[in-house]
Structure 1
């Protein structure tokens, strides 16, 4: 009897291993086929028949979805590389952070068409007349809608590592390289994964602008869901719009199952604490990859190479930071003066060049007009961020404290965040015209449509990291109602909320270029604002007005961040970090 039971157990184990091997092999081979199919035809002529012509036929949507998915994935990989380098440099170097963080504030506020208008010709020159050049331009445009949010999240995590963990790393005499990979990256990963989700959704939000590029006389249309949606809106084909929405939902669900849900399950063991009653998230893809022997065989050499690099880098003898003497302090002071002097010279030179370029093509009173339009957009941004915060902060905290609810809400929120504002143009334009509403007011909600989710996703990430001990203490002391929110929930998520609010603010300025002008067929509505100003200048190919609009928008964002957001961000780092 025992022999039969043992034989059955062995057969069951072998069958289970064989099953997971098969699943893992299919996943890996499917990824290879996916990349091969989506990259087909990159070196073909840009004007080749069938390559740039967009068809609204339903049979074309699977291929379009494949191409768009590859662009999104390539942009996500580039965004991760940017995040791990740029954000780390800004967090680790005080001098670099003083220029890199304001620069990041500006970059996330520059409208995506602002990037496209000045980069499309540059990328097209890499492969003249080939689809590859246009693909590079589209991937870069999607990258600009993903990278800034992820960099802010990683920077915030590096700046708010719990004090006791930092002290433990010093006690174990970890080198900076070992501390980065053993402490800081694991601590930052849960929040980074949630921000990867919302960044991917932001890429979907701007997919129309990235695949259907029109700058003056230059028009580039790439096969993809975004160009499909643009053509459907232009032809007022509601059936095609509905098909595009359905395919977007399917692709987002596939991404959720194959990429984000495995990542959420993988980073779960990186949480600041593990509560005994906490049910960890699971993913069938991650289970297949972990249990497959073939995947282990493939990745063992890569793991050994990484371990060797890690040991070489971590083998440097740790040296305590030496105390600077008077000579060292004097040298550091001179370096500071040289650094700030160099920045001042560069800024002065760039300001002079921008001034000369802009004033060559526009009158001086045009600058005042752009500033007034910027004030209108600024009011919209503040009002919308306040409304979104009131709605999504309590919802995000509720979801983050319940892993089961988070698993259900995650794909739904991803789809809602990815929903392009262009798809609401028929409803918005028709409703405003029919009810004779003011476009300055009723086009404004389109600005927050894609950016409010930065707040929700970051608050969910923050609430999920609240230590169980802290919640238990509140329960034992009878802390309930508004006192619980004021003393436990809101302080715990405040650093994460600040990351979401800053990126949502910058994203709203970015989205103004899409939201302040809405078209449906021959009907076009325009709100008075800086986004509409830049959109019109881009359509006309007027680079002087484009640069003026971007410069004014950047100035608004820098001043607002410096006077309003940055003090709150510093407060979050200093007072509300875990530990």
Structure 2
């Protein structure tokens, strides 16, 4: 007989015994979940085989536009999208954490993030295709990695901005509590900082996923340096159908896209948004919460708890390692003189590297075309700048009230979420046939109509962030306003606008960058033999990319980065500081 001291706890059974005991309590729900996971793994492996077939840059590219190929194309596109999402999440955690925790790195990383989000997807593709093909010679994996990288560049920046803001505006009481309990940085990150930013991270992840859909055509059907590359996918299928002027096949692509978006929303994003409700910072529970049939089904299964129990030793090991290496987050006293010396040294080194890069770029452009190459894109950038300002202003007036209404009503969220997700995910290229017909029929200039196409890829950042901000407003504050009888204009002034302001700023800065990026595919509209070209920087960059004119491409990308960074520095960064100082929860 086993005995233990009086007053002591009985020894815990070994992990293998506890695991076997839980397995004996398995139900039909666990069987269904296990079968679904096995089928998913099988499909990933089966579809993934096509990413490693042999490929030559000299071979002719032909996209199969038979509708029977769409299921396989859809699976390949989904695989790329989720691979890019996983890379974006990893990048978000590392980059945003480094920028939020280091004052010196913040001075470099945040301006760099402004520049990165301003560089169009086509600008990244020009370098990525050549680099990845060289990295994986003779294999389709090079093109696959280039496509995933392109999708990653359309997803990562929005999520990084959102998580960076949540880290810098962490409620002070949570920060002090984690320090008083002497949490390691690892414990603080996973138990305090990630949960505090979870709602914004999930909704911005959903928006970023939609941004990936928007640029699917550009990332799967690539034209660089007068060479055309294509991968099996819904984007390349739609691009080929649009080029052929086949409305029937464009319709099949739109139908497939709608099924994919609704399916991913139901199986992935809806459960995540319902699960993220647990991280709301409030003192009273909401009377109505988000629900998900998939999440409710998973909660009836034992597999999530078994998986959590099996991973718990890994978390404890990482926590112990954090303590061994002295990573607890206690504030350190730093000599001001040493800090100033370190800042000066860091600034000199960083400034010297940036100056060297700019000088080298200047010599390259001067040898090829002369520095006068910047004149045309600077003037064209003013035209696109006007379109961006109009788009952001109109989107703010239209979508902020709608986003607040959706965010305050879980029932409305369940209805609106899949609709908004479908609208946000449709690439402008899919609507080019309708756009060309509409512009020609009404006589509307592409210079004005291009704003409508840009809005397809940019306005949703404002809507999604407004929804996330409204959902993050504690229920007890809303109930207090109800008890005090605060309604209408005063309610917006005292509660809603201050509550959503930090999230709106994140949405505004990413919508602005997204609008510049969307101008690449919105200022040149082609269907069949008809091409409409707007006056603007986006059309300039698209033409330079198609021609393989690297000096003009570099000049166009540099000017676009200049406009985006200038707008961020003069407007959005000031609003960020205002959100941190006055409107943080």
What is the TM-score when the length of structure 1 is the normalising length? Answer: 0.93
Which shifted more, 273-282 or 54-63?
273-282
1:511 aligns with 2:518: yes
- Of residues 17, 20, 41 in structure 1, which corresponds to 2:50? 41
Instruction: Check the 8 A contact 2:286/2:475 in 1, yes or no.
Output: no
Q: Tell me the distance in 2 between the aligned counterparts of 1:274 and 1:14.
A: 37
Q: Greater shift after overlay, 252-261 or 184-193?
A: 252-261
Q: Tell me how far apart the structure 1 counterparts of residues 457 and 28 of structure 2 sit (CA, whole Å).
A: 40
| Contact 2:170/2:196 (<8 A) preserved | yes
Q: Deviations over 1:307-348 (max 9, x none)?
A: 332344257595743434xxx222211111111101110111
**TM-aligned CA distance change 1:304 to 1:245, over 3 Å:** same
1:87 aligns to 2:96 (yes or no): yes
Cα deviation for residue 356 of structure 1 reads 1.5
Determine if the alignment matches structure 1 residue 54 to structure 2 residue 91.
no
Shift of 1:278: 2.9
Aligned pairs for 1:47-126 (under 5 A) are 53-126=62-135
1:403 to 377, 397, 410: 410
* Match for residue 577 of structure 2 among 557, 570, 574: 570
Against the structure 1 CA distance between its residues 122 and 243, is the aligned structure 2 distance closer, same or farther, given a 3 Å change threshold? same
- Residue equivalent to 1:469: 476
Q: Are the aligned partners of 1:534 and 1:546 in contact in 2 as well (CA < 8 Å)?
A: yes
Q: Distance between the aligned counterparts of 1:317 and 1:549, measured in 2?
A: 44
Q: How does 1:140-219 map to 2 (within 5 A)?
A: 140-219=149-228
**Which position in structure 2 is the counterpart of 1:528?**
535
Cα distance, 1:483–1:96 mapped onto 2, change above 3 Å: same
CA change 1:407–1:483 in 2 (3 A) is same
In structure 1, the partner of 2:245 is 236
8 Å contact from structure 1 (residues 373, 529) kept in 2: yes
CA distance in 1, matches of 2:327, 2:505: 38
Q: C-alpha deviations, 1:73-105, integer Å up to 9, x for none?
A: 100000000000001101111111111111111
| RMSD (Å) for aligned C-alpha atoms | 2.2
Q: Conserved in 2, the CA contact under 8 Å of 1:361 and 1:545?
A: no
8 Å contact from structure 2 (residues 184, 319) kept in 1: no
Distance 2:152 2:61 in 1: 22
| Distance in 2 of aligned mates of 1:452 and 1:134 | 30
* 1:52–1:223 Cα contact (<8 Å) kept: no
Quote the residue 2:256 is aligned against.
247
> Tell me, which stretches of 5 or more residues in structure 2 are unaligned?
1-21
Q: Secondary structure at the match of 1:518?
A: strand
Question: Is 1:321–2:331 an aligned residue pair?
Answer: yes
Partner Cα separation in structure 2 for residue 351 and residue 397 of structure 1: 44
Q: How does 1:277-296 map to 2 (within 5 A)?
A: 277-294=286-303, 296=305
Sort the Cα spacing of 1:262 and 1:50 in 2 relative to 1 into closer, same or farther, 3 A: farther
Q: Could you tell me how far apart the structure 1 residues matched to 2:312 and 2:277 are?
A: 21
Alpha carbons 1:428, 1:443 under 8 Å: kept: no
Deviates more, 1:487-496 or 1:173-182: 173-182
- The separation in 1 between residues aligned to 2:181 and 2:321, in whole angstroms, is 18
Kindly provide the CA deviation profile for residues 196-236 of structure 1, in whole angstroms up to 9, marking residues without a partner as x: 11111100000000000001232210000000000100111
Unpaired runs of at least 5, structure 1: 1-12
Shift of 1:298: 5.0
Return the alpha-carbon distance in structure 1 between the equivalents of residues 329 and 371 of structure 2.
Answer: 58
SS for the counterpart of 2:27 is helix
Q: Deviations over 1:520-571 (max 9, x none)?
A: 1111111111110000000100011000000111111111111111101110
- CA deviation string 1:161-184 (max 9, x = no partner): 122222322333333332222111
Asked whether the 8 Å contact 2:400–2:462 carries over to 1, the reply is yes
How many pairs does the alignment contain?
A: 563
Q: What does residue 267 of structure 2 align with?
A: 258
Asked if 1:427 corresponds to 2:421, the answer is: no
Q: Hey, what does 2:28 align to over in structure 1?
A: 19
How far off its partner does 1:47 sit?
Answer: 5.3
How far apart, CA to CA, are the structure 2 residues paired with 1:42 and 1:320?
Answer: 47
Structure 1: which 4+ aligned runs deviate by more than 6 Å? 13-16, 48-51
How many angstroms apart in 2 are the aligned matches of 1:16 and 1:262? 25
Q: Deviations over 1:77-134 (max 9, x none)?
A: 0000000000110111111111111111111111100110122110111221211111
Q: Give the SS at the match of 1:146.
A: helix
Distance across 2 between alignment mates of 1:60 and 1:317: 52
Q: Which stretch of structure 1 is more off in the superposition, 542-551 or 431-440?
A: 431-440
SS in 1 for 2:182: coil
Which residue is 2:500 aligned to?
493
- 154-163 or 286-295: bigger deviation: 286-295
The answer to whether structure 1 residue 350 and structure 2 residue 368 are counterparts is no
Give secondary structure in 2 for the equivalent of 1:343.
helix
